[in-house]
Amino acid sequence: MASIKFDNLKKSSTLINKDYTYCDLHYDIVMDSKNRDFVIDYDDQAIKNSLIRIFNTRPGERFLFPKFGCDLYRYLFMPITVNTAESIGNTILNAVRIWETRVTIQTPVTIVADPENHQYDIGLVVIFPKLRKQINLNGVLTQNGFKEV
């Protein structure tokens, strides 16, 4: 039977003087060729990856967490209206409130419909209270899901 070793995670959890608050596997789960281990993201990048994962997961896709995610895909084939854009913003806010408690999202979420390209442009101001930091997370919602730009 095959096994996977997460040595990089073990090492990072035993550091005494760590320079980060949060760590997580990189969103795409890729190998670091130099260290021959999984790539790890820290602090705001780890949380940003978590948000993108929430936006791209449909409820029911995760076996042990069937309610995890927010179904942004359902909006892609609805009429492009102000009400649809407002619903997307509310869906994002509710999902983040439930699944990513390390951040708050400054309201309102900016949603701009782009019917010519069959997408929505999404802009969020993400506040990291424990890190005393905030970032702008901008992306597009297309038939392939949410992608940061």
In CATH, what number is assigned to the domain containing residue 76?
A: 3.10.450.40
Residue 65 neighbours by CB under 8 Å, 6+ apart? none
In 130-141, which positions are buried (b, 16+ CB within 10 angstroms) versus exposed (e)? ebeeebebebbb
pLDDT digit string (tens) for the chain, length 149 residues:
566 666 655 555 554 557 888 888 776 666 666 766 777 888 888 899 999 999 999 999 988 989 999 989 899 888 888 888 899 999 999 999 999 999 999 888 999 988 888 889 999 999 999 889 999 999 999 988 899 99
pTM for this structure?
0.80
- Tokens 């705001």 locate to 44
**Does 41 reside within a domain?**
yes
Total domains in the fold of the chain: 1
pLDDT of 3 reads 65
**Does 37 reside within a domain?**
yes
**Does 13 reside within a domain?**
no
Q: What is the DSSP letter of 34?
A: T
pLDDT of 35 reads 63
pLDDT of 137 reads 94
**Does 11 reside within a domain?**
no
pLDDT of 2 reads 63
pLDDT of 19 reads 83
Domain residues for 115?
A: 19-148
Tokens representing residue 131 in the block: 């890190």
**Does 131 reside within a domain?**
yes
Neighbours of 105 (CB within 10 A): 19
CA–CA distance from 17 to each of 37, 38, 114 (Å)?
A: 22, 22, 47
**Does 34 reside within a domain?**
yes
**Does 1 reside within a domain?**
no
**Does 2 reside within a domain?**
no
Counting Cβ atoms within 10 Å, is residue 58 exposed (0-12), middle (13-18) or buried (19+)? middle
Residues 99 and 91 sit within 8 Å (Cβ to Cβ): no
pLDDT of 11 reads 55
